[in-house]
Amino acid sequence: MVPDDSAPAAVTDTVLDAGLPSAADSDQNLAGVADPVLPVIPAPPVDPRTQLRLRSEVGHLVLLMPNGPEAEGGALSWGELLQQFKQRLHGVERFWQPHTVVHLAARDRLLDVRQLQSLDEILTAAQLTLKRVTTSRRQTAIAAVTAGYSVDQLAAEDTLVQSPPAPGQPLAQPLHLQTTVRGGVEIRHPGTIVVLGDANPGSSLVAEGDILVWGRLRGMAHAGSGGDRSRCIMALQMHPTQLRLADLVARAPDGSTSQYLPEVAYVGDNAIRIAQAQAFARQHFDATLGRGAQLTDAFKV
């Protein structure tokens, strides 16, 4: 039978060698090649506008709140802020000693007692101790005192170093605290401090204005801290560990009393003197009347 040349030729599968190495050759070649070294990508820097930062200072650490206000675009919520800070705190090599003191620079951020306690728990887990809060917000200062922390209230926002006000410049608005100031707590304010409660032994009140304690004053009190000797300290029961008025210092008066007898500490004849509030008020109003002021019906006897 004569083959039909017009019929298509049979097709067979063929392996085309394109010069690629075989599997065995590839294994042999890779055995002599070192693994590639991947570049180390550094961690992104901490953004001061959105994250908490720790800064080392002499004797303590400073925890800085974000620079911008809460309403700034891109700002993190309080929960996100704490979560990121917690991760960074446990992910870095510790450069502090156990139980190192931390001062929180809250600046103009509004914080309540619950938020301060949440932050304290994170710091405690890292063997850090929150002791002081620096703030320019009155509500934050009150919350910090209520939670038992020392407080520095600033007169200006975003300023950690304050200078005494110039002569004649009005002081900050009074700071009113309806709480007991516990031992170990220090409160600093560039105005008058009013405490509706007791100031326990070991507490410290420092004001550029007056200090009024509607209770027992048993800690240290320093009024007129900017150098104003016309300031005074008043308490329903005056038994402090130390009194300071401007640049003058006096030790605690001898003896103690269980009676509530309002007294006022003031500067007279270049020394700190203590008088009953009624006598001090009478002397003050007599001096005021001597300068031409008119006595109102409320003070006529």
Whether residues 244 and 226 share a domain: the answer is yes
- Select the more confidently predicted residue: 198 or 74: 198
Of 95, 130, 157, the one marking the end of a domain is 157
Check residue 81 and give its pLDDT: 87
Note the pLDDT tens digit of each residue in 210-222.
999 999 999 999 9
82 or 163, higher pLDDT: 82
- Terminal Cα distance for the chain, rounded: 151
The reported pLDDT for the residue numbered 11 is 41
Same-domain pairing of 290 and 182: yes
Asked if 67 and 48 touch (Cβ cutoff 8 Å), the reply is yes
Map tokens 């020394």 to a residue.
Answer: 271
For residue 282, being part of any structural domain is answered with yes
Same domain, 133 and 170: no
Residue-level pLDDT at 140: 93
Q: Where are the alpha helices (DSSP H) in 103-149?
A: 113-125, 138-147
Based on the domain organization, do 205 and 173 belong to the same domain?
yes
What are the distances in angstroms from CA 179 to CA 14, 79, 214, 215, 243?
93, 28, 10, 10, 21
Instruction: Measure the CA–CA gap between 82 and 52, rounded to whole angstroms.
Output: 8
Give residue-wise pLDDT tens across range 200-209: 999 999 999 9
pLDDT of res. 298: 35
- Domain-embedded: residue 171: yes
Look at residue 107 in the predicted model and tell me its pLDDT.
86
Q: What is the pLDDT of residue 184?
A: 93
The string of pLDDT tens digits covering residues 118-138 is: 999 999 999 999 999 999 999
**Interval 8-35 mean pLDDT:** 46
> b/e per residue, 162-171, with b = 16+ CB within 10 A?
beebeeeeeb
What domain range is 249 assigned to? 163-301
Q: Are residues 145 and 186 in the same domain?
A: no
The total domain count for the chain is 2
Provide the 3-class DSSP secondary structure of residue 23. Answer: helix
Beta bridge pairs of residue 242:
220, 251
Residue 273 lies in a domain: yes
Residues 216 and 270 in one domain: yes
What average pLDDT does range 142-159 have in this prediction? 81
DSSP-assigned letters across all residues of 37-58: PPPP-PPPPP-TTTS-EEEEET
Do 92 and 175 reside in the same domain of the chain?
no
3-state secondary structure of 100: strand
Instruction: State the CATH number of the domain containing residue 59.
Output: 3.30.70
